[in-house]
Amino acid sequence: MSNNINANNLNTDSSSSPVNVPKMDALIIPVTMEVPCDSRGQRMWWAFLASSMVTFFGGLFIILLWRTLKYLWTVCCHCGVKTKEAQKINGGGDAQADGACKPTDEKEENVAAEVGWMTSVKDWAGVMISAQTLTGRVLSHFLTSIVSHPIESCQNFYKDFTLQIDMAFNVFFLLYFGLRFIAANDKLWFWLEVNSVVDFFTVPPVFVSVYLNRSWLEFHLVALCNNSIKLVNLCSIFISTWLTAAGFIHLVENSGDPWENFQNNQPLTYWECVYLLMVTMSTVGYGDVYAKTTLGRLFMVFFILGGLAMFASYVPEIIELIGNRKKYGGSYSAVSGRKHIVVCGHITLESVSNFLKDFLHKDRDDVNVEIVFLHNISPNLELEALFKRHFTQVEFYQGSVLNPHDLARVKIESADACLILANKYCADPDAEDASNIMRVISIKNYHPKIRIITQMLQYHNKAHLLNIPSWNWKEGDDAICLAELKLGFIAQSCLAPGLSTMLANLFSMRSFIKIEEDTWQKYYLEGVANEMYTEYLSSAFVGLSFPAVCELVFAKLKLLMIAIEYKSEKRESSSILINPGNHVKIQEGTLGFFIASDAKEVKRAFFYCKACHDDITDPKRIKKCGCKRLEDEQPSTLSPKKKQRNGGMRNSPNSSPKLMRHDPLLIPGNEQIDNMDANVKKYDSTGMFHWCPAKDIEKVILTRSEAAMTVLSGHVVVCIFGDVKSALIGLRNLVMPLRASNFHYHELKHIVFVGSLEYLRREWETLHNFPKVSILPGTPLSRADLRAVNINLCDMCVILSANQNNIDDASLQDKECILASLNIKSMQFDDSIGVLQANSQGFTPPGMDRSSPDNSPVHGLLRQPSITTGANIPIITELVNDSNVQFLDQDDDDDPDTELYLTQPFACGTAFAVSVLDSLMSATYFNDNILTLIRTLVTGGATPELEALIAEENALRGGYSTPQTLANRDRCRVAQLALYDGPFADLGDGGCYGDLFCKALKTYNMLCFGIYRLRDAHLSTPSQCTKRYVITNPPYEFELVPTDLIFCLMQFDHNAGQSRASLSHSSHSSYSSSKKSSSVHSIPSTANRPNRTKTRDSREKQNATRMNRMGQAEKKWFTDEPDNAYPRNIQIKPMSTHMANQINQYKSTSSLIPPIREVEDEC
């Protein structure tokens, strides 16, 4: 038999005896009768057991005795108090009463002091043993520690290091037991609880072992059992029962039966006993290990009854609890020196992938931000794989932002921002907005200072955010309204086709895709690689005018600057100025808005030094120099992102900017304009939009016959699918940009809605204050309705649907819009239908008579050649599902898996999907001024005052035309400039884009930023295709073609209304024609052109003759700056996209289109 039975020996060889014989200095004698432990050979197990029993019962007796004495003392004191009160009532005087009260008061003070002291001690002890503090966690951790010994051995305490360690641990356990005893409110119940009983059988025997110089196994494992893992109550009970029973079997089997003089023992390790108990509970019973002692067998009989029941009930429930435990239920651990953001709301594979693709794009300068997703539903396999792919920067936690505990888990108080994603495809947009608003309330309630960027679906729901006290636009809180931006993009495409695609690509991060072949995709993708950035301008630009800086930056730094953040001397707050005039001078620390391919290129604007970089031709060599001036600027090297994090750039109480105007308007002839505007035209109270008194919907309804008898031309047809149950899409956001006050009244395009009258009645409350709006009840799928509104003569056809989100099948969500688009494209039209309609009304349209004074290029409208096929009608279709874009163009070869921005319809500006707006979330986080700039460009100039008014009244309010409101009209607008004619015609045929950029900027303060080019313009052979695509920010040396249309930011023309006073209330502007967009301009001579021949053979000759006459005519043209007003050789005349497409294919006649219900539209 071995000299030592080691209970901790887990490496016992199964093939050998479990008894080891280690070499030890201490004398360890086995517990057998053959080799006695002392001279008498007496076992001392009873002494160890007696120490535990005496401790337990002795302490119990002391507690009961203390309670008894305390009770008797309380009863006696209570009787004494009653006697004194009786004496006081019966005859005690005032002096006696005072004397009796004083000792009582002193006693009460002493008792109070005593109670306070005891309470303090209890609190201190409770904190010490609590696992909620560091000290408590350390103490609780040591409860699971154990030092195992042989069953019973004779050891010298002073020489055995193991026994000394065991003593140290048990002294610690004794101290811990004392703290628990002091902290307990009920000492009796504490003494009887299980944890205390465990201490009784583990701590006292150690002190006995020191006195007797021998060790006993006793119940050390009880401490391990009962104080180990406590994940759930069931698991704790099951494991403690199992391990405790194993400890008892281990004791009796290794000791033997006392009445057998311990002769029937067997050497079993503890883990063999654990194994025995498990196979016993599970009723397997292999028989390889079994109990030999009578005590062990008797215990097994009773244990198998309870153990089997516990195993059958507890184990399945434990497995269920463990299986239901949240996989993502932990807490976020912040990384030092690294910010993190919390993303919540609508977390799906599509929304997360779109967000991460843009947020973690390589073109961003320094994305040292960790993304923490919080959602109450665990991710599916695909989403989980996406998280693992970005595991270094992305973490997911399961929970809800409505639960403060979950907000604490993701460390929302230390987060840099919280982003809330919306479900763009939900059936009830108002309910989705309400959910996101509740998320904002919950987050702001938990941490009011957190920056929140949330997506909103409906424009009118943005007002509810203003009701949250801690919502602060100045601190970076932003609401991205998808309906407002989506319809604003589409509205701008009605004014400048293709602009929606260009703007969407600018705030989306796209990687550069190089194509060697000379195809339209090559030039389109080169422009797609451009994004919007901000950077502070170098002090080398201070004092220069904005156009001068733009020219220098474009020519030398190869950057395009379109706007600046300007601080006026008259205003404390800063404003964002888009292409301001020569009167604006660059100040120190001015922030510029640039279009570039990556953030590193934009740094050139900050590093530029005239002394060091003036002679450098390669922009890549423009880097930070060692000039003292740049060193002095070191405090301003703070990046825009960091400055925005501090709230330094948030000057507006809303997401819209305060646009600075040229104030006052001291331009020649303005008095006449002001008088005319004050007497005839009306604007809303902010002066940002055209306004008219509210009209009843019945007055704007056109029947099919009335529409057919009305010569509609140069208008916008809005095909809307919806019914009385459909969710409102907010058509006001589509109409407002088309009614911006920086258009003159006669320049406004007439808007005709074709759709369900029941649906339009619900939208009409937000539309009744806009002029030049008509409704044709019907359906966009009816060709009769489409012909009645002269869809072949419209400037743009917009196809929208309010029923898209009511269908579960994603591929069928866009069925109505796709069918309407294909229906229009397959229509055929008669070339003479416009003339026949005009003659049927009994008049000859003005302009058909070439002798008419209005027929001159100054006043006349150049009628576009009629469209004979629907494929040439300009259409923009809204899609919900990106993959459905493949059905819009039957002649393209786009792969169904192609990303939306790479498809031909999107590149041509004929399709728009709300999914492209997902990129605005990350763009706004890195630079919230980008959102302000985008909203300014697409909404027509919505201001904080206007949004506050709409929040109060849900309608526009009319206002008087004061100089202040009229000054708000002086802002840029997007336009398209044709190159086939005008002062830029010489650059249109093989010229350089950079020369065009500089000439337009110097001469007319027009800032060019892109090209709208025919798809087949690169082909050497002529093509009949009229499709165009967008080229964003072409390089300086880019070659132009005559058919190009140039995107430009045009200054407001104060004098445009003077020359057309007689036409100021015509339904169609002198910029609009039967197929001309008011934003597409050519610059011809003022001389009357000869009538063109009707033969196609002479077309090119006449075009060349017209171009040669360009430099001979003159007209006075004034800029917006009063100090720089001087005559220009320029004449602005309308030009439509389709006209530029077919200028060499069809004849043209000049025509003025009669107004539609002129009296009703005049306001």
What is the pLDDT, as a whole number, of residue 911?
Answer: 93
Region 1064-1092: mean pLDDT is 37
Q: Omega before 664 cis (within 30°)? A: yes
Question: Which one is predicted more confidently, 1076 or 737?
Answer: 737
Question: Which one is predicted more confidently, 1139 or 381?
Answer: 381
Question: Which one is predicted more confidently, 1108 or 586?
Answer: 586
Percent of the chain at pLDDT exceeding 70: 64
What is the pLDDT, as a whole number, of residue 961?
Answer: 81
What is the pLDDT, as a whole number, of residue 749?
Answer: 93
pLDDT digits (tens, 9 = 90+) for 582-639: 888 898 889 999 999 888 889 888 888 877 877 777 778 777 876 744 455 444 333 3
- The CB-side HSE value for 600 (13 A sphere, CA atoms) comes to 7
Tokens of 234: 């069931």
Beginning with the edge strand found earlier in the chain, give each strand of the sheet holding 560-567 in spatial order: 531-536, 591-596, 560-567, 574-578
pLDDT digits (tens, 9 = 90+) for 969-1021: 888 899 998 888 888 888 888 889 999 999 999 998 999 999 999 988 877 66
Tokens of 1104: 């060349």
Question: Which one is predicted more confidently, 627 or 1067?
Answer: 627
Domains of the chain (ranges plus CATH)? 1-217 (no CATH), 339-471 (3.40.50.720), 684-919 (no CATH)
CA distance 424 to 882: 13
What is the pLDDT, as a whole number, of residue 415?
Answer: 93
DSSP3 helix / strand / coil % (the chain, rounded to 5): 45, 15, 40
Residue 1126 has pLDDT above 60, yes or no: no
- Contact between residue 279 and residue 285 where contact means Cβ atoms under 8 Å apart: yes
CA distance 240 to 526: 69
Question: Which one is predicted more confidently, 1015 or 175?
Answer: 1015
Highest mean pLDDT among 18-27, 262-271, 832-841, 863-872: 262-271
pLDDT digits (tens, 9 = 90+) for 733-772: 999 999 999 898 889 999 999 999 999 999 999 999 999 9
Confidence of residue 367 (pLDDT cuts 50, 70, 90): confident
> pTM for this one?
0.67
What is the pLDDT, as a whole number, of residue 126?
Answer: 56
What is the pLDDT, as a whole number, of residue 962?
Answer: 82
What is the pLDDT, as a whole number, of residue 209?
Answer: 62
pLDDT digits (tens, 9 = 90+) for 1031-1066: 999 999 999 999 999 999 998 887 765 544 333 333
Helix (H) or strand (E) holding 70: helix 45-90
Residue 547 has pLDDT above 80, yes or no: yes
Region 96-101: mean pLDDT is 43
Residue 461 has pLDDT above 60, yes or no: yes
Confidence of residue 154 (pLDDT cuts 50, 70, 90): low
Residue 676 has pLDDT above 50, yes or no: no
Confidence of residue 642 (pLDDT cuts 50, 70, 90): very low
Q: Report DSSP state, residue 912.
A: E
Helix (H, G, I), strand (E, B) or coil at 879: strand
Confidence of residue 118 (pLDDT cuts 50, 70, 90): low
Highest mean pLDDT among 84-93, 226-235, 658-667, 1104-1113: 84-93
Helix (H) or strand (E) holding 181: helix 161-183
What is the pLDDT, as a whole number, of residue 548?
Answer: 92
Confidence of residue 365 (pLDDT cuts 50, 70, 90): low
Confidence of residue 1072 (pLDDT cuts 50, 70, 90): very low
- Contact between residue 530 and residue 505 where contact means Cβ atoms under 8 Å apart: yes
Region 466-485: mean pLDDT is 89
Question: Which one is predicted more confidently, 1 or 354?
Answer: 354
CA distance 1163 to 961: 12
Region 803-831: mean pLDDT is 83
CA distance 688 to 935: 14
Q: How many CB atoms lie within 10 A of CB 68?
A: 10
What is the pLDDT, as a whole number, of residue 72?
Answer: 85
Residue 116 has pLDDT above 90, yes or no: no
pLDDT digits (tens, 9 = 90+) for 289-338: 878 888 888 888 888 888 777 777 777 776 766 666 667 888 898 888 88
What is the pLDDT, as a whole number, of residue 648?
Answer: 39
Residue 62 has pLDDT above 60, yes or no: yes
Question: Which one is predicted more confidently, 945 or 603?
Answer: 603
Q: How many CB atoms lie within 10 A of CB 321?
A: 14
pLDDT digits (tens, 9 = 90+) for 209-225: 665 555 554 444 444 43
CB burial string 27-46: b at 16+ within 10 A, e below: ebbbbeeeeebeeeeebbbe
Region 334-345: mean pLDDT is 89
Residue 31 has pLDDT above 70, yes or no: no
Region 34-44: mean pLDDT is 49
Closest CA to 907 of 531, 525, 516, 511: 525
Residue 968 has pLDDT above 60, yes or no: yes
Strands 369-375 and 394-398: parallel
DSSP states of 140-157? HHHTT------SEEE--T
Confidence of residue 943 (pLDDT cuts 50, 70, 90): confident
What is the pLDDT, as a whole number, of residue 684?
Answer: 85
Confidence of residue 227 (pLDDT cuts 50, 70, 90): very low
Confidence of residue 87 (pLDDT cuts 50, 70, 90): low
Closest CA to 795 of 1061, 555, 536, 1078: 1078
Q: Who contacts 622 (Cβ-Cβ below 8 Å, separation ≥6)?
A: 557, 604, 607, 608, 613, 616
Tokens of 182: 């002091």
What is the pLDDT, as a whole number, of residue 516?
Answer: 74
Taking all residues of the chain, what is their mean pLDDT, rounded to a whole number?
72
What is the pLDDT, as a whole number, of residue 254?
Answer: 83
pLDDT digits (tens, 9 = 90+) for 878-905: 998 888 888 888 776 667 778 888 899 9
What is the pLDDT, as a whole number, of residue 797?
Answer: 96
What is the pLDDT, as a whole number, of residue 1068?
Answer: 34
Question: Which one is predicted more confidently, 170 or 865?
Answer: 170
Helix (H) or strand (E) holding 963: helix 963-967
Lowest mean pLDDT among 707-716, 764-773, 861-870: 861-870
Region 714-733: mean pLDDT is 92
